[in-house]
Amino acid sequence: MADNNSVVNLEATLRTKFECPVCFKYMIPPIRLCLSGHIYCDYCFEKIRKCALCRANKSAYRCIVLEQIYAMLTFPCKYAEHGCNFVGKGDIMTTHQDYCEYSSAFCPLRFNRCQWKGMRSEMVTHCNDIHADNTFFVTEQKLKVTNFCNLMDRNYFIIFYVYDNLFRCVWDIKQDTGVMRFAVYSLCLQNSDKLFSYRISVLFEGADVISLEGPCFHMNDDNMRFLDKKYLSTNYNMIRDFCDTNGDINYTINIIKK
């Protein structure tokens, strides 16, 4: 029976086989191949025209066996050089690296024409500093849309940082149809729909008159505005009648932990 040192040495030896010959970083699935069998990370594979080692053509197939071995080996996070100390099995590393606090991220409110890009750990601070009017740290927030009585195309994006999780509320109105869509998505936590829900309530004279509630689905690609069929919808005409005397609509967003 192999002792612990033998297992550690074997893992270390196997890990070296996962170094991409172009960038020298550890490959993660999909692991790509040339026709001679040399392997590459997906990023470098897309950059080369022929195999950098033997000049063979690129293969359309992946190295499935190595991908299976990858899931069983222990790797450091690819952001270790930036300060991340996470070490884990390959089958959980991709998820970690997608949301590592040292990974690069764009502003979650970039639809409001923000060009910021920085480390994920700095994202909430950036939103609070630059987008204070659209960033909240409470589970329930009262908001107002001015001049709601006039139907027009509208898009709104709002950030909530609560329960140690980042949520983005998005809602819009289409002038030609009057359709309104609402959603609150988790930008970090997978399976968030099982843990969190949200409620949007329209207020009239201080009381809730219309409430819509749904699960907070996880949004893996935050370049999207809405996930397909994972939002709530209503019609502008149902909401317009509850404008105040200034033509504004008042509403609350509540993020609820189940």
pLDDT at residue 39 in the model: 96
Residue 3 has pLDDT above 70, yes or no: no
Q: Among candidates 16, 12, 14, 39, which has minimal Cα distance to 26? A: 16
pLDDT at residue 95 in the model: 84
Specify the CATH superfamily of domain 4-72: Zinc/RING finger domain, C3HC4 (zinc finger) (3.30.40.10)
Element (H, E) at 257: strand 249-257
Residue 247 has pLDDT above 80, yes or no: yes
Give me 228's structure tokens: 């397909």
Residue 85 has pLDDT above 50, yes or no: yes
Give me 125's structure tokens: 């601070």
Residue 167 has pLDDT above 90, yes or no: yes
pLDDT at residue 4 in the model: 66
Round to whole Å and give the CA distance between 96 and 104. Answer: 13
Q: What is the mean pLDDT of residues 75-98?
A: 91
Q: What is the mean pLDDT of residues 146-167?
A: 96
pLDDT digits (tens, 9 = 90+) for 89-106: 998 998 888 889 999 999
Question: Which residues face 185 on adjacent strands?
Answer: 168
Residue 141 has pLDDT above 90, yes or no: yes
Q: What is the mean pLDDT of residues 43-68?
A: 95
pLDDT at residue 129 in the model: 96
Average pLDDT, the chain: 93
pLDDT at residue 185 in the model: 97
pLDDT digits (tens, 9 = 90+) for 19-42: 999 999 999 999 999 999 999 999
Residues of the chain with CATH 2.60.210.10: 133-257
Residue 1 has pLDDT above 60, yes or no: no
Question: Are the C-beta atoms of 63 and 32 separated by less than 8 Å?
Answer: yes
Helix (H, G, I), strand (E, B) or coil at 46: helix
Residues of the chain with CATH 3.30.40.10: 4-72
| pTM > 0.95 | no
Give me 241's structure tokens: 């009648």
Q: What is the mean pLDDT of residues 233-248?
A: 95
What CATH architecture applies to the domain 133-257? Sandwich (2.60)
